[in-house]
Amino acid sequence: GEGKKKKKKKKPKKKKAEQSDPPRVGLSKLFPDGNYPEGELQEYKDDNAYRTTSEEARYNERMAMEDPEQTYQSIRRAAEVHRQVRQAARKYIKPGMSMTQIAEYIEDGTRALVEENGLESGVGFPTGLSLNNCAAHYTPNAGDTTILQQGDVLKVDFGVHVKGRILDSAFTMAFDHTYDKLLEAVKAATDTGIREAGIDVRLGEIGAAIQETMESYEVEVGGKVYPVKSIENLSGHSINLYQIHGGKSVMLVKNDDQTKMEEGEYFAIETFGSTGRGRVIESGDCSHYARIYDAPRVPLRLTSAKSLLNTINKNFGTLPFCRRYLDRIGESKYLLALNHLVAQGIVQDYPPLCDARGAMTAQFEHTILLRPTRKEVVSRGDDY
């Protein structure tokens, strides 16, 4: 039997990496070629319809794709992280959980999937978990014992960034059906904002379209009918590199803003609806902060403020952060120093924004990219 050829052992096929539950597998293992899924593509309308087939627009797009600073892959990688984390979070979040437990579940998932690496990639801003009449900018501070209740309306707003490209997207959860129409109104208004957005479109016109959609809904609560109102002093916004609010605002009501959207810009199209007065005020303990992008150079008298500013620059740069993030990196007894940085105009504080007590608010949000040939709703997935 010496003449027999030895059978070659078949190499076992490499198993394709799969996401774990809860999600903790970094995206580089799931997408080893570095190509991440495109978002939903929408054609431009009216005067911009020509862009889809325009040779010039296609050339501009190729140039944008090849520019490492403008790479679409960074924002798509952030978007894929957001999709996977939020789909897991939707299944996970239940009444009876604490706000801290929910925030940490989302942030741990985000950090693992984006393979957090200093200012190269990580959490884009603190996880907003605003409840009921509170519309935005609430995340639990240390010691917060708030528990999610069956009758609550919860806004989940979190961000992911890759190389400073921030993906900003939010959704609302309600656990009984009383506020289904409120959620439907806000989702439809966000879809309207996305549909109307485009290169050279005036921001004021988008606000009017959002308001018209939003305010065509009403909600019945305990036999009483409430109109759904656009929250007039909240808005969507452009997004710049490492800067969540890029300077342009997409209001949610009709206005005379003649500013135009421009080719290559990123926008967070977010809408907020309310059964209350449709206007928010600052209320409650502050958790959100960010170093001001063009803050003045001010001599700081407090040594602790100098030290805290160094920590902020090193860990967050101009990305928003919250008090829990300072706790996490080992800072303690920092409130005096933090308030001093706010008073000196170096750091901006963002207290919770709330409508009248008893009102309910909802939010939906997507990030869109105004590509030369069409717009890409980068954050969209199967879920919403």
User: Residues 298, 221: contact at Cβ < 8 Å?
Assistant: no
Question: Catalytic: 176?
Answer: no
Q: Is residue 117 classed as helix, strand or coil in its secondary structure?
A: strand
Q: Contact 48/345 with Cβ under 8 angstroms?
A: no
**Exposure string (b/e) for 326-338, b if CB count within 10 Å is 16 or more?**
beeeebeebeebb
Handedness of CA 258, 259, 263, 267 (dihedral sign): negative
Out of 104, 184, 245, 265, pick the active-site residue.
245
DSSP secondary structure letters along 312-365 = HHHHTTTS-EEHHHHHHTT--S-HHHHHHHHHTTSEEEE--EE-STT--EEEEE
Can you spell out the DSSP letters for 126-175? EEE--BTTEEE---PPTT---B--TT-EEEEEEEEEETTEEEEEEEEEES
Is 229 in contact with 248 (CB distance < 8 Å)?
no
Annotated catalytic, 168? yes
Q: Which residues contact 318 (CB under 8 A, 6 or more apart)?
A: 242, 243, 290, 291, 292, 293
Provide the token pair at 62. Answer: 């190729």
User: What is the DSSP code (8-state) at residue 245?
Assistant: S
Cβ(278)–Cβ(355) below 8 Å: yes
Q: Which of 61, 80, 157, 232 is catalytic?
A: 157
Exactly one of 237, 288, 340, 366 is catalytic; which is it? 237
Give dist(CA 274, CA 171) in Å, integer: 15
98 forms bridges with which residues in the sheet? Answer: 147
Largest CA distance in the chain: 91
* Active-site pick, 232, 365, 366, 376: 365
Q: Is 157 noted as a catalytic residue in this protein?
A: yes
Q: Which of 61, 80, 107, 168 is catalytic?
A: 168
Q: Is 256 a catalytic residue?
A: no
The two tokens of residue 357 are 């007590």
What ranges in the chain are assigned the alpha helix state H? 27-30, 55-66, 72-92, 99-113, 180-196, 203-214, 303-315, 323-328, 335-343
Q: Which residues pair with 355 in a beta bridge?
A: none
Choosing from 196, 270, 331, 376, the catalytic residue is 270
What residues act catalytically?
Answer: 157, 168, 237, 245, 270, 365
